Amino acid sequence: MTKPQDGKEGKEKLRVYEYAKSLNMSSKEIITILKRLDTPVNNHMSVMESGMVSKVEGFFRDIKANAAAKRAQGGQQAGTSSARPTEKRPEQQGVHTIPRQEQTQQPNQQDRQVTMNTTSNNNQSSNGTQQRSSQGGSRNGQGGQNRSGQGQGRPQGQGGGQGRPAGQGGGQGRPAGQGGGQGRPAGQGGGQGRPAGQGGGQGRPAGQGGGQGRPAGQGGGYGGNRPGGQGGGQGRPAGQGGGYGGSRPAGQGAGAGTASRGESRSTAPAPRTFGDNKPAGGGQRDFSRSGPSGGAGRSGGPGGQGGNRRGGGKPGGQGGRFDDRGGNFRSRGKNGRGGKSSQPQRDKIDNTPKKIIVRGSMTVGELAKLLHKDASEVIKKLIFLGVMATINQELDIETIQLVASEFKVEEVEVKIPVEEDDFETVEEKDEEESLETRAPVVTIMGHVDHGKTTLLDAIRSTNVTSGEAGGITQHIGAYQVEINQKKITFLDTPGHEAFTMMRARGAEVTDITIIVVAADDGVMPQTVEAINHAKAAKVPIIVAVNKIDKPDANPDTIKQELTKYELVPEEWGGDTIFVNVSAKQRTNLEELLEMILLVAEVNDYKANPNKRARGTVLEAELDKGKGPVARVLVQHGTLKIGDAFVAGNTFGRVRAMINDKGRRLKEADPSTPVEITGLTEVPQAGDPFMVFEDERKARAISERRSIKQRQSEMGANSRVTLDDLYKHIKEGEIKDLNVIIKADVQGSLEALRGSLEKIEVEGVRVKSIHNGVGAITESDVALASASNAIVIGFNVRPESQAAVAAEQEKVDVRLHNIIYNVIEEIEQAMKGMLDPIFKEVVTGHAEVRNLFKVSKVGTIAGCMITDGKISRSAEARVIRGGIVVHQGKIDTLKRFKDDVKEVSQGYECGITLEKFNDIQEGDIIEGFTQEKVER
């Protein structure tokens, strides 16, 4: 009692909930007590006036006094021996057992119970808890009595023995400890049926239960008006009945079940119970029921009532179902008012998972299942979160996370499955902060003999001698050099064939290209090819003017020539970096490397190293010793030993990894080239590579990919051909037709290119991505394949290998010998590319006769259709005095209150226009549509 006072003193205004808290009680309990004391309050936030506090305290004192009296009485009735168990042992058991609910969910209650129990032994304590306890105590006391009353009825040992073992019996329904005291000693009564210990745990706190039906202690409740004591005995322990509202005095209940209600109910059940193994004291059912209610009864009190009712309500026989019926109990508890708060917890085992894995959106029902909850519980949470949802409603991941956190799920792991079979097409978006700078990947291209290989070797050996003294570089398709503490990765397959082949396979590996031009030779056909390949790939170009050591070297001529290909040196106002080098003499190599770093810095190449690896197979072969080996460039994530992966249509597990220096690696981060073993088959260069969680999955994916590839090889190709150009354009919104022109002589080449590039019909134009004199080569086909281009041969034929490649890659090669035919063919194909022509068709007119201004809707024009019809889907223009004042869409079209699709001549209708409210009486609304016209 001091507590509440303290609380009050501490604050100006003491709210009900604060006061309740200080007593370790619920607000509802306090509100109920206040009501009984004729000082009703509205809710838990109401202010406790000082008078109220003292009233409540007085109330508690009365109860304590009553309880003490009853205890004394009970003691006499039951005899000391039986009384003891009730008060001490059983209670204690109960307390221990019960905690199962309370420990997990309501520690306070546990405390309360304990206190209560204690209090029953020590009624004198004066603080809030004790008050409660004291109530409890009284109940217990009663229970004790009741039980004891019963105790006689059924021998302690017996009842429990059979029906439920004392230890257990209390079990859920009700804690053995309590009621048991006398009626059946915990130890005994419980017997088999249900262990006292347990029962208590869940059903109701040991301390209370009053052994059987319902713990006497409870009955006492706050102020029961009816003599529960007696009835309690068998039917239901008096104690409970008492509860708050109980009309009978709790204290008494115990007895023989005399209580008016007690009897009727209790008696009926009792027999069964007994018969069934339960100790006489209380029918099992009674027990059980009462147990729950009473027990629950929050040690202190309210439970009591519920207990009574229940006890009575259901015959003992049910007791056996304790466990299963938790739910029932609970709900009844509520109805009965008693122990509302504790009861739900009793039955509830918190089986909410600590962690859930979410793989995309799911329905409310699915989420409920995942959370081990009823859908209704999830829906309830959603309502709290402001989302009205049905069981079948889809929830997005964010909402799922919110709901999960509401249920106190500690971790929600979101695993969005990627379209795993076509993993190369899936673009993984990384958070900006997860990205780290990676080394640029460089490819060297250029004309034959201009020094590509020499340059690559020079760069590599420069690096070897400087950083990797004595190291022997391995050929693994690429190597890394380090300059100024920054790495650069070079693909060591020179030439644009490999580059384009990669691109044709969808692998965008290169970040920067170096076009090598020999200063003594100048720009040659393959130089141009290389430039075109790089441009088609939209990769920055650095020009390395090589062989400047040669006496006839003339770098400026090279610069001059390259301006034709839009490669203008910076010093001439362009943006292309030119570096004069001598691969042979290793002149200016550092400057070249620095320029690469500069371009890299500008482009800020980044990747997320902290995820599973993805990359591209640079080369692969069957090694006699190692089996299939693949040289892979890791582009995203980090590749680790033991990772299961798919490479193209093959799969494997990384057994060993070596880098370009021949060192064994355990991990390879982005831009690192590595040679890996552990494949089951040999993939192809350019194949995409990706790590999966396990080998089984990797195998399944690779198998599906193989099947798919075979199917697509048999099926239609996806390359652009003149025949299905229109279809491709429609699907892909292609607005340029890429062509590669090969001709017999420069003159006809220029003529053809000029004519084709002039074809430009309404935004669609021909783009010559590469042209040259001579036969159609494999490289032309590869470029066409990579760039979705058509190859036009004028008076030339494809080389045999190119023909095969074109066949394989499904590249459309058109061979002509009359320029006019080429142009006509291309023009026709392009017609399909044109956007359709639309013609406006006026559907009708409406005259605005009335205006209705409706807030939130805007101005509704009450119209009469004067001719034709107006459709909801049509566009409309507003004509005022012959002038068009607005053109836009119709928002709503109504006949009376109904939305309609169209209204015809002679009918009235209401029209609102999208984003236009300035309509006036007398305006004419003209409805019109756009119709497609064939070209």
Ligand X SMILES: Nc1nc2c(ncn2[C@@H]2O[C@H](COP(=O)(O)OP(=O)(O)OP(=O)(O)O)[C@@H](O)[C@H]2O)c(=O)[nH]1
The contact set with ligand X (CB under 6 A) reads: 446, 448-454, 494-495, 546-547, 549-550, 582-584
List the structure tokens of 767: 């783009």
Q: What is the DSSP string of 350-383?
A: ----SEEEE-S-EEHHHHHHHTT--HHHHHHHHH
96 is in an annotated binding site: no
Backbone phi and psi for residue 544, each to the nearest 5 degrees, phi listed first:
-105, 110
Nearer to ligand X, 345 or 546 (CB): 546
SS3 890: strand
- Angle at the Cα of 714 (from 713 to 720), degrees rounded to 5? 60
Residues forming beta bridges with residue 741, ordered by sequence position: 771, 792
List the structure tokens of 102: 């309370």
Nearer to ligand X, 240 or 473 (CB): 473
Nearer to ligand X, 504 or 553 (CB): 553
H or E element that contains 458: helix 452-467
Per the listing, tokens 């201004």 go with: 853
Q: How far is the CB of 459 from ligand X (least distance, A)?
A: 12
Nearer to ligand X, 582 or 672 (CB): 582
Q: How far is the CB of 496 from ligand X (least distance, A)?
A: 10
450 is in an annotated binding site: yes
Q: What is the DSSP string of 239-274?
A: HHHHTTT-BS-BTTTTTTS-SHHHHHHHHTHHHHHH
Q: How far is the CB of 458 from ligand X (least distance, A)?
A: 8
In sequence order, what are the residues at sequence separation of 6 or more whose Cβ sits closer than 8 angstroms to the Cβ of residue 738? 536, 720, 767, 769, 784, 787, 788, 789, 790
Q: What is the DSSP string of 648-662?
A: TTEEEEEEEEE-TTS
Nearer to ligand X, 502 or 613 (CB): 502
Which is nearest to 219 in space by CA: 244, 187, 182? Answer: 244
616 is in an annotated binding site: no
Nearer to ligand X, 528 or 698 (CB): 528
Nearer to ligand X, 379 or 456 (CB): 456
Compute the distance between CA of residue 707 and CA of residue 650 in angstroms, rounded to an integer. 12
Q: How far is the CB of 504 from ligand X (least distance, A)?
A: 20
307 is in an annotated binding site: no
Compute the distance between CA of residue 835 and CA of residue 724 in angstroms, rounded to an integer. 16
SS3 745: coil
Q: How many residues are given for the chain?
A: 935
770 is in an annotated binding site: no
**Dihedral sign from CA coordinates of 134, 138, 139, 140:** positive
Nearer to ligand X, 517 or 630 (CB): 517
Compute the distance between CA of residue 76 and CA of residue 69 in angstroms, rounded to an integer. 11
Q: How far is the CB of 520 from ligand X (least distance, A)?
A: 8
Q: How far is the CB of 590 from ligand X (least distance, A)?
A: 15
314 is in an annotated binding site: no
Amino acid (1-letter code) at residue 880: R
Q: How far is the CB of 659 from ligand X (least distance, A)?
A: 24
548 is in an annotated binding site: yes
SS3 48: strand
Q: How far is the CB of 455 from ligand X (least distance, A)?
A: 7
Q: How far is the CB of 530 from ligand X (least distance, A)?
A: 11
555 is in an annotated binding site: no
495 is in an annotated binding site: yes
687 is in an annotated binding site: no
Q: What is the DSSP string of 589-644?
A: HHHHHHHHHHHHHHHT-EE--SSB-EEEEEEEEEETTTEEEEEEEEEESBEETT-E
279 is in an annotated binding site: no
Q: How far is the CB of 595 from ligand X (least distance, A)?
A: 17
646 is in an annotated binding site: no
Q: How far is the CB of 742 from ligand X (least distance, A)?
A: 21
Nearer to ligand X, 551 or 882 (CB): 551
Work out the number of other CB atoms within 10 angstroms of the CB of residue 674: 27
Work out the number of other CB atoms within 10 angstroms of the CB of residue 383: 11
Q: How far is the CB of 412 from ligand X (least distance, A)?
A: 55
Which DSSP category does 473 fall into? P
732 is in an annotated binding site: no
Nearer to ligand X, 517 or 577 (CB): 517
486 is in an annotated binding site: no
Residues forming beta bridges with residue 481, ordered by sequence position: 488
Compute the distance between CA of residue 134 and CA of residue 332 in angstroms, rounded to an integer. 25
Given 3-state DSSP classes, what are the helix, strand and coil percentages for the chain, each rounded to the nearest 5? 40, 25, 35
Q: How far is the CB of 778 from ligand X (least distance, A)?
A: 15
Q: CA 385 → CA 130, 357, 399, 405, distances in Å? A: 39, 21, 9, 11
Nearer to ligand X, 53 or 545 (CB): 545
Nearer to ligand X, 494 or 648 (CB): 494
387 is in an annotated binding site: no
- Angle at the Cα of 485 (from 480 to 491), degrees rounded to 5? 15
Nearer to ligand X, 46 or 588 (CB): 588
Residue positions forming the annotated binding site for GTP: 446-453, 492-496, 546-549
Numbered residues of the known binding site = 446-453, 492-496, 546-549
